[in-house]
Chain A
Amino acid sequence: MARPKAAFFDFSCCEGCQLQIANFGESLLDILNVIEVVEFREIMSEKYDGTLDVAIIEGSINTPRAVERIKAIRARSKTLVAIGACATTGGVNGIKNVFPLDEIAGYVYGGNFRDYETIQTMAVHQVVRVDYFVHGCPIYPPEFVAVLKALLMAIPYDVPDYPVCVECKLNGNVCMYDRGVSCLGPVTRAGCNSWCINNDNICYGCRGMVSNPNETGAIDVIKQYGLSIERIVNKLEMYNKCRELNPHG
């Protein structure tokens, strides 16, 4: 069987998620044995404009040009995978949406922002259909491999819809609330093996929110510890601002 043709495309992002893949080391060569990478601008000069079996998308959509580009990629791709928070939730790029567009452009651009073309930051699925999601900022490599396997077998990959706390407890961490600081673990979807808390930091919510935070008891936890909801909401803006554009996203 011919290896499926795959291409990587980057939109507005830090390119850290593709680096996570480059950091697989020599096992990257094993991945390249199962898929044929035909385009990857960051590391290849080769170009390909035929039909793709797999398009792997990194980054958020935030210019009219990007909207056109992602639509064209979707049209020639059988399967589309969004990798990283920028692509799956809008990620930190969404913070821009907190500010009125011309105000923020004016701040960074001085008097020259008139020619500036920008639109609100959007996650990829807010523009085109996405078949697989790999959440996180950056992506968690074992999950990327799991998604790749599912994709090659043409079966769906179910993103965990329970909070990071579940993984965190299994890992035996002392809860950050017990240490006096707030953590977004209770409202954030698991799948990263509670990466940040294992390193004695808090969860910043980079994988996006579980679909029904009220039912998971998150708000109860926050109240139980007497923490300020305002502070939590402010922190949630770091990765979850784009949700407001599309409450079902």
Chain B
Amino acid sequence: MSWLDKVRNSLSNLSKRDTPDTLWMKCPSCGEMLYAKDFEANLSVCPKCEHHGRIGAKARFDQLLDAGYSVLPTPKVPENPLNFRDTKKYPDRLKAARAANPYPDALTNALGTIEGAKAVLGVQDFAFMGGSMGMAVGAAFVAGVEKAIAENCAYVICTAAGGARMQEGILSLMQMPKTTVATRRLAAAGLPYIVVLTDPTTGGVTASYAMLGDVQIAEPGALIGFAGQRVIQDTIREKLPDGFQRAEYLHAHGMVDMVVHRKDLKGTLAMLLGYLARKEVA
């Protein structure tokens, strides 16, 4: 099964949130039948095999931020600048994604505290057009960083994306330097930038802001890479090693600082922010 098929299968298993006919779900990793409410209460981690399911921005905010956070508005960007259509018109794809998701595009920020430490938290939602990075994601990333600078606090991002949003063509590629301008400005302000790589993070997102954190965290089992596995296989025609492009594999190759279980993520972030927070000038 290709990674794309895997993505599709796990989506169909995990993304039907809050519909009454999905009281039960099957863990896409071990096949265990799970009561959906129990799964969610367990941070969307399979109690049997520890598979970390994909979660959206709202669940992530609730898991990582203290109560009382505020969701920041998603910046408006030109829609469908290329007048793009493949088998469907891009605006129709956007409309469908918006109808199925709580926020207007794939990256949403919230301002809040993590065990008392102030931070802006950005969350990319794979359920929204594969988390893909187009102008809205780029603009939201820049806005999140600007908010962090204005609030003199850290920017933390949970990444999830299949890559660039192809329907925006070259303009999606331009989000790579654009978001990098933002990370440089955050660094110039002396503020921490922490990346949490979640399943899956690939393509242009990985090759820009997702790899530029002061500290790089990955969730267990997350697929993280630049090139897609099928593309690699078609190019080199060799079997891919076990665990290739998984969080643990990246850790072993020195690409991330740590692989952190979801139940420990908030505490880890709080600890890091405690160390990296800017010293107040006396």
A and B physically associate: no
Residues of A within 8 A of B (CB): none
Residues of B within 8 A of A (CB): none
